[in-house]
Structures are given as C-alpha cells and as structure tokens.
Amino acid sequence: MSSRLFEGLHHADLYAKYRPNYPQQVIDRILTFMKVKAKRSDDYVKAVDVGCGSGQLTRDLAPYFQQTVGVDVSEAQIKFARNLKTNANVEYRVGSGESIPVESSSVDLVTCAQSVHWFNFNKFCGEVDRILKPSGCVALIGYTAPNIIYQGKPHQGLNRLFDEYIDLLKPYTAKEIQALNNKYRDLKLPYAINERDDSLTRKREVNLTWFINWLTSWSHYQNLMKATESKSDPLVELGAKMVAEVDDKSSTDEIEVVLVDSIFMLLGAKPMQD
C-alpha cells in the first residue's frame, strides 16, 4: 500500500513551500512521447497526477488537458494543493496509488513525480492500466540529489558537507527510497511501447536558507527528528558549516548557490486495443 509519510499539516506546509517545480522540458518530453510514440492527437481530455503532493506538477499539466486531477493519500497535502489552485480545470482528490479514484478507461495521461517508489508498484500498474484509455500514456518522473554550484562551479566543500549530511540520514531512510536512489532502473512498465530518458536537468538559483528549508521537507529528515525527539537539529549545524566553508562573515540568506539535479523519466503507452 502507499506509504504515509507526508500527512502531517506541518510537513505538508513544508512540502508546499519548498518542493520545486519541474522544468518545461519535462512537460514537452511527455507530450512528444504521446504524439510520436503513442500516435496520440493533441486533443487531450484528462491527465491524472498520482502522488501529487501539493500539486506542483498537477498545475503545470493543466494548460494541456481539459481536466487535470491530482491524487494523494494525504488529506493535508490535498488541502494545501486546493489552497494553491490556480486553474479552473484542476481538481484534487484523496486516494492512493493502489486505488486511484478515477473512472476506468477515461484518462489520456497518468503522471507520478518523485512518488512511485512509495506505492506497491504492481498494484499501481494495474490501476494505471484500468484508468488509461487505449493508447493512453504513463510517465514516472524522479530526480537526484543536486550538485551544489557556487560562484559558477561545483564547490567541493559544500558538496562534501551535503554528502556527509545524506550519510547521516541513512539510518532514518525508508527502504522505499532505494528505488529512487537507483533512478527507477528496477521498475518495468507493463507496456511494449516504453522509453527511458535521463537527458534532462534542472537548475535552481537559491540561497542557503532556501536550501536548508528544502531539506526539512525530506521524509528521512522528518524520521530523524521524530527518532531523536528533536533534541538537536543537524540542519542547523549543516547551515553553519556551509557558511564557514565559503564565507564565515555572511549568513545563509546572503549566500547564493545553484542546485543542479538530474531528472529521469520512464514513459509508457498502453496498446491501442486491449
């Protein structure tokens, strides 16, 4: 069943504030696959974004479909998504990856961004197949931990500190994260028409304060804080070390970095006829 690690109101708030959007190239890549590989026309009726969180990808899909539905197991996430709603053709529903609350054979595209590893994959694929129209498509999307760029080049010290922090989190990291760390290489979509794409990257210009706040949205950080009863916060130490690494006279608000992560995608098309 879907893991339930993002349900608290505080965690959902962090997710809404700090989880990044996807570059336009992700949408373009999906639409190209639908047109070229699945031989679909441009008249798309419905997209369903499963594990939508606070709706980052859901909203970006809206201009290309008559209706876009975001689905998440967390009522708190759905609440925040609804509060952020900006498109009249977007709606959000509570549901899981193993029981998607959408009519059978009604969907042109199913997306799942940075979340399919939390689902029972076989049951998820069964639900995807149920709700997709013939020649409908599915896109699984994930991204890696970023490389930190400072003053135009990768910064060895900042990346070392980040790697050490990730090592610190390992005892608190859910087993499901391994599939994400492996870039979904072990996941196989059940359709003969399928592709893998590792060509896209994302760049985010942020300050170190934003970077530290983004890390608070990670499930393994939340697990650590629960296990240690919040007696000490390793992100406070990480922020101080990063400031000292580049300029101990500045604050995290003043230090600008660029985060570069790699995006990977699995794309599949249901057969024209079952």
Per-residue pLDDT of the chain (274 residues; tens, 9 = 90+): 444 444 455 656 776 677 789 999 999 999 999 999 999 988 899 999 999 998 999 999 999 999 999 999 999 989 889 988 678 999 999 999 999 999 999 999 999 999 999 999 999 999 999 999 999 999 999 999 999 999 999 999 999 999 999 999 999 999 999 999 999 999 999 999 999 999 999 999 999 999 999 999 888 998 999 899 877 899 999 999 999 999 867 889 999 999 999 999 999 999 987 5
From the number of C-beta atoms within 10 Å of its C-beta (0-12, 13-18, 19+), residue 236 rates as exposed
Beta strand pairing call for 90-94 and 67-72: parallel
What pLDDT score does 249 carry?
A: 76
What pLDDT score does 274 carry?
A: 59
Given a contact cutoff of 8 angstroms between Cβ atoms, the answer to whether 252 and 184 are in contact is: no
The per-residue pLDDT for range 52-74, each reduced to its tens digit, is: 998 999 999 999 999 999 999 99
Instruction: Pull the structure tokens for residue 9.
Output: 């109101």
Question: How far apart (Å, rounded) are the C-alpha atoms in residues 30 and 141?
Answer: 10
What pLDDT score does 118 carry?
A: 95
pTM of the model: 0.92
Type of residue found at 140: L
Closest by alpha carbon to 3, among 219, 242, 191? 219
Beta strand pairing call for 193-207 and 132-143: unpaired
CA-to-CA dists, residue 208 to 20, 86, 258, 262, angstroms: 15, 29, 10, 20
Instruction: Pull the structure tokens for residue 225.
Output: 């804080």
- Element (DSSP H or E) covering residue 82: helix 75-83
What pLDDT score does 12 carry?
A: 64
CA-to-CA dists, residue 144 to 114, 141, 200, 265, angstroms: 10, 11, 11, 12
What pLDDT score does 80 carry?
A: 87
What pLDDT score does 6 carry?
A: 44
> Residue 103: what are its φ and ψ, rounded to 5°?
-65, 150
Given a contact cutoff of 8 angstroms between Cβ atoms, the answer to whether 138 and 38 are in contact is: no
Type of residue found at 17: K
